[in-house]
Amino acid sequence: MSKYRIFKITAVIAAAFTLIFTMAGCSTTLKLNGESEVIVNVGQTYEDEGTNVDKAQVSGEVDTSKEGDYTVKYTYKEQEVERIVHVVNPDNLVVGLRGSEKTIVKQGDPYIESGAFGIDKNSGVLDDFEISGQVDTETPGEYGIIYTFKSGYIKKEIVRQVEVVAKDEFKANTDGIPVMMYHYVYTESDKPEKLNSNYISDKKLEEQLKYLKNEGYYFPSFRELRAYADGKISLPQKSVILTFDDGQKGFLNYGVSLLNKYKVPATSFLIGIKDGESKIKTYASPYVAFESHSYNMHRAGGNIGHGGVISALSKEQIVEDLKQQIDMVESDNAFAYPYGDVTEDAKEAVAEAEIQCAFTTAYGKVHVGDDYREFSRVRVHGTNSLDSYIAGL
């Protein structure tokens, strides 16, 4: 090869390196450091990660005291990139477990998945979540089930502990499960003019909740209760379910706070047409699951029992109402008959709507073999003593 050809190749290589270095120095591509979308909780400090160019101009502000989507813009020469910062309030997403925080399973019994619930205070009950974890009911021990909820840019997890208890150590309930029926709660500073036995003071309610916690009561889910009645599982000896009818403001204002304080799960049977959606969002609690007291059947117009309109409706009309309320509370776990009135059409409607448990106002506990379409409950009278309450458990 001639010296001229060698020189020419060397010159071309040198020119190429010169071009590369020139491009690197003069045409730097502007890029974000970190992610293009960032989630920050309200009240946290936002620390911007900037770009790969220190001299880039930055515009846009992020106010972490307010929820919202903020845009931070970076400019370098004729280039521009953006970062979106989502400021969210995690308290707007409330998640809770159905039933006790720790599920107790007798060795060899099937594990009943009770589920969980999530409520976005802005949009209402969430209809979807992910479940992970497994339980081996043949092997005594501790297990965990994880429920993951997402709403917008907020994500929360809640864990259910599951304890499989050896057969010879499991103390089973043989007397029936009391489902306690409460109605209204009041406090002395907000006392109704006319009190009746449906009202219970917050002091008495607190006394009862404290007793249940101190005595180690178990709070089954409705799906566990159904499986118990169907003879599929055993439940712990000290088991009880708490229900509050009508979604009364006193219960929502004073009762819910006590359930939160003692971490006792309970059910609020809501009437959909009576501000049902608003109550769900306003009074969301990890210890209160909202279920159906019908959408618009809690009114007079019937000719049996207490005169509830349900006895004047066809099966198809009842099914339509039940499904409307199921859509609102996002649950088919339980239904409380308005006024406690039950008809054959109503029981068939409950089955068609695939509701797990339906409750009357007839006094009594739930026993193995009972018809899930008309379970009894134990009425709680606000005038009764703690000893009387304990006698009903």
For the stretch 78-94, pLDDT in tens is 999 999 999 999 999 99
Average pLDDT of the segment spanning 24-32: 76
Q: Is the pLDDT of residue 22 over 70?
A: no
**In Å, what is the CA distance from 261 to each residue of 90, 257, 314, 332?**
20, 6, 43, 27
Strands 184-186 and 130-132: unpaired
Question: pLDDT digit string (tens) for 41-78?
Answer: 999 999 999 999 999 999 999 999 999 999 999 999 99
pLDDT band at 161 (very low <50, low <70, confident <90, very high): very high
* pLDDT at residue 17, rounded to an integer: 41
Average pLDDT of the segment spanning 244-257: 98
Q: Which of 35, 158, 182, 163 is nearest to 107 (CA)?
A: 163
Q: Which residues pair with 258 in a beta bridge?
A: none
Cβ-Cβ contacts under 8 Å for 385 (sequence gap 6 or more): none
Q: Is the pLDDT of residue 139 over 80?
A: yes
Rounded CA gap, 285 and 275, in Å? 17
Q: What is the mean pLDDT of the chain?
A: 93
- φ/ψ of 307, rounded to 5, equals 85, 20
Q: Is the pLDDT of residue 19 over 50?
A: no
Question: pLDDT digit string (tens) for 91-116?
Answer: 999 999 999 999 999 999 999 999 99
Q: Which residues pair with 93 in a beta bridge?
A: 120
Q: Which of 62, 33, 66 is nearest to 46 (CA)?
A: 62
Average pLDDT of the segment spanning 195-223: 97
What are the start-end ranges of the E strands in 302-392?
A: 334-336, 357-363, 375-379
Cβ-Cβ contacts under 8 Å for 36 (sequence gap 6 or more): 81, 82, 83, 84
Q: Is the pLDDT of residue 393 over 60?
A: yes
* pLDDT at residue 369, rounded to an integer: 98
Q: Which of 356, 299, 302, 99 is nearest to 219 (CA)?
A: 99
Q: Is the pTM of this model over 0.85?
A: yes
* pLDDT at residue 9, rounded to an integer: 39
* pLDDT at residue 27, rounded to an integer: 74
Are 298 and 337 contacting, i.e. CB atoms less than 8 angstroms apart? no
pLDDT band at 220 (very low <50, low <70, confident <90, very high): very high
**In Å, what is the CA distance from 108 to each residue of 105, 112, 114, 380?**
8, 12, 18, 35
Average pLDDT of the segment spanning 144-165: 97
* pLDDT at residue 265, rounded to an integer: 98
DSSP assignment of 21-74: HHHHHH-PPP-BSS-SEEEEETTSPP----BS-TT-EEE----TTS-EEEEEEE
Residue with tokens 């403001």: 249
- φ/ψ of 6, rounded to 5, equals -60, -45
* pLDDT at residue 123, rounded to an integer: 95
